[in-house]
Amino acid sequence: MKLPGAPHVAYRGHELFIEGCALNALARQFGTPLYVYSRSAMLESLAGYQRALAGRDHLICYAMKANSNLAVLQTFAQAGCGFDIVSGGELERVLAAGGDPSRVVFSGVGKTAAEMCQALATGVSCFNVESESELTLLSEVAQGMGRQARISLRVNPDVDPKTHPYISTGLKGNKFGVAHDRAAEIYRHAAALPGLEVVGIDCHIGSQITEIGPYLDALDRVLDLVEAVEAQGIKLHHLDLGGGLGITYTDEQPPEAETLVRSLLARIDARSHGHRKILFEPGRSLVGNAGVLLASVIYLKPGAEKNFCIVDAAMNDLMRPAMYQAWMGMAACTLRDTPPVLMDVVGPVCESGDWLGRDRSLAVQPGDAIAVLSAGAYGMSMASNYNSRGRAAEVMVSGNEAWLIRERETPAELFRGERLLPTR
């Protein structure tokens, strides 16, 4: 029996498996909390984009903020992906995982001069510039290094992606990108600045988008702008259409990646822009449904108004429910014959916001393992050490093989860089 939004997670008899590995066995071997990822699920998700783009000049840049584990990056690098980064630290991770810097695009609203120097020296493919101030600084940095920075402007098309406001990025009130109605003017300014080479245009309207319509609306506005900019004599060689495609957490029905991409390509061709290189920056849609977070039940706590299932994973391990009120699917790793009980699944962190799921019907006992589903994106990458809790271990599985790809943090590692005051 397969579970919603988890194509490689299924019950075999009474035991829950990810690919060919029993999740209970992984919990016993590696301990909990534990993130577990299916390599096959990642590659199958990527294949949808690759099929749709076959025969096109294109680059798929994995948006690594979704999950930046080195083994995850290695998997996508070996499959031919580039990377979308938003910090110098992420660039270092790409290099450590064997990624090609010439297939990296550098996004983000707050690039520092030091990060610009690092990216130029490394040879990234393109900077997705998000403000006029950034253009000025990048020009100065590139000039000082005797380099030419290839740039695209991230344009804010003011299109509603119909998603959570915290992950909407393409509206006028969002901090991202340059205003659509000023973009042609800013392109003229960029083309005149020394040390810069204008090569493309970038647009990203949000995350967890489950409809094609907002993408097509944004694309039409981008193509209008491309035509206006090129009428000024400025050539744009690539279209970067961002990412943001949603996944299934509960009953969402997002389009398949292949369907989305083919719809966008059809619109591009219909408007005579098919000669341009196409970039996509998928993140969540590649890794979200590929991962689970395993937690062990510590206590069952009946209450006057609520029953609580207290587990050893917490909001520091998985921030999405507390931050976005996100619904995450849950499943017991062993099916019991006892009747399920309605309860809130909560962690040990000292915050009322420390919950992983509310009003869940589960048949579990202390010591049982629970799998939080669709936890491959914005799980470990957003984890913290609040309450001096070490971050979880991570495991990658392929078939019936499992590899530890991140060790669990120890208390000593948490305060390794701290210093006591001198004693008198």
The catalytic residues are 350
Query: In whole angstroms, what is the distance from residue 378 CA to residue 286 CA?
Result: 12
- Residue 88 neighbours by CB under 8 Å, 6+ apart: 112, 114, 115, 118, 119
Of 249, 208, 207, the C-alpha closest to 6 is 249
* Residue 119, H or E segment: helix 113-122
Reading the block at residue 122, the tokens are 């490394």
Contact 148, 120 (CB under 8 A): no
Contact 344, 337 (CB under 8 A): no
Of 376, 337, 348, the C-alpha closest to 71 is 376
Backbone angles phi, psi at 171, to 5 degrees: -100, 160
Of 308, 355, 300, 360, the C-alpha closest to 330 is 360
Count the Cβ atoms, other than its own, within 10 Å of residue 223: 19
